[in-house]
A and B are shown apart, each in its own frame.
Chain A
Amino acid sequence: SQELEQSPQSLIVQEGKNLTINCTSSKTLYGLYWYKQKYGEGLIFLMMLQKGGEEKSHEKITAKLDEKKQQSSLHITASQPSHAGIYLCGADRTGTASKLTFGTGTRLQVTL
């Protein structure tokens, strides 16, 4: 969706390096969902952010939602080959979390 932009579109990092993926909305969000997709598979839920300024972490992945609730970042620390895949952000614009609009995705490759 053009209302939800992700950057970069693709990323190649060396194992052990840190990286950040951004998701920017043209409208205020009720919630922001991060998913990961491996080639040929469905999406796996990572994290969900609702409050402005909120930050959540799981293992080496940290996601933040800015105060205005229009931009989110996903940060991976000390990347590993298992982090490779496509990362998608999904926006809840209705407040019901029943309809998500997804970004274009960021393809991450981790080299040895």
Chain B
Amino acid sequence: DAGVIQSPRHEVTEMGQEVTLRCKPISGHDYLFWYRQTMMRGLELLIYFNNNVPIDDSGMPEDRFSAKMPNASFSTLKIQPSEPRDSAVYFCASSTGTGAYEQYFGPGTRLTVT
């Protein structure tokens, strides 16, 4: 298996622009997680899905952030409009979610908002 795939790997955009991050989880995994990592706040869970349904979005910073999972093999995290404080590395992870298990992380998308 190719593992969790994220695109793009790097994104540089100007403040106010819309940004869309993409994730393809490992086939057969029914949990998908979006995280954000910064030097100041470390690794934070933004939202997670189970069987394509959002279960907990309490970590989403504000209404500018939205996430969707239209099917079992694809998810997006959108920021509109983007702000410089959104600059971070965004990780997607997936897992089987059955009992004790580990989450498999993608390589991340490094977002820079100027």
A-to-B contact residues, CB < 8 Å: 1, 31, 33, 35, 40-45, 48, 50, 88, 97-105
Contact in complex: B108, A42 (CB < 8 Å)? yes
Chain B interface mostly helix, strand, loop or mixed?
strand
Stretch at the interface among B70-78, B80-88, B97-105: B97-105
Contact in complex: B107, A42 (CB < 8 Å)? yes
Residues on B with C-beta less than 8 A from A43 are 43, 91, 93, 103, 105
Please pick, from A1, A41, A50, A99, the residue contacting B107 in the complex, using a CB distance under 8 A.
A41
Q: Is B56 an interface residue (CB 8 A)?
A: yes
Residues on B with C-beta less than 8 A from A98 are 31, 48, 50, 55, 95, 97
CA–CA, A73 to B65, complex, Å?
Answer: 36
B-to-A contact residues, CB < 8 Å: 4, 31, 42-45, 48, 50, 55-56, 91, 93, 95, 97, 99-108, 110
Contact in complex: A100, B103 (CB < 8 Å)? yes
CA–CA, A50 to B100, complex, Å?
Answer: 8
CA–CA, A105 to B43, complex, Å?
Answer: 9
Contact in complex: A33, B102 (CB < 8 Å)? yes
Please pick, from B42, B43, B45, the residue contacting A99 in the complex, using a CB distance under 8 A.
B45
Contact in complex: A97, B99 (CB < 8 Å)? yes
The 6 closest A-B pairs by CB, nearest first: A42-B105, A45-B102, A102-B43, A43-B105, A104-B42, A42-B107
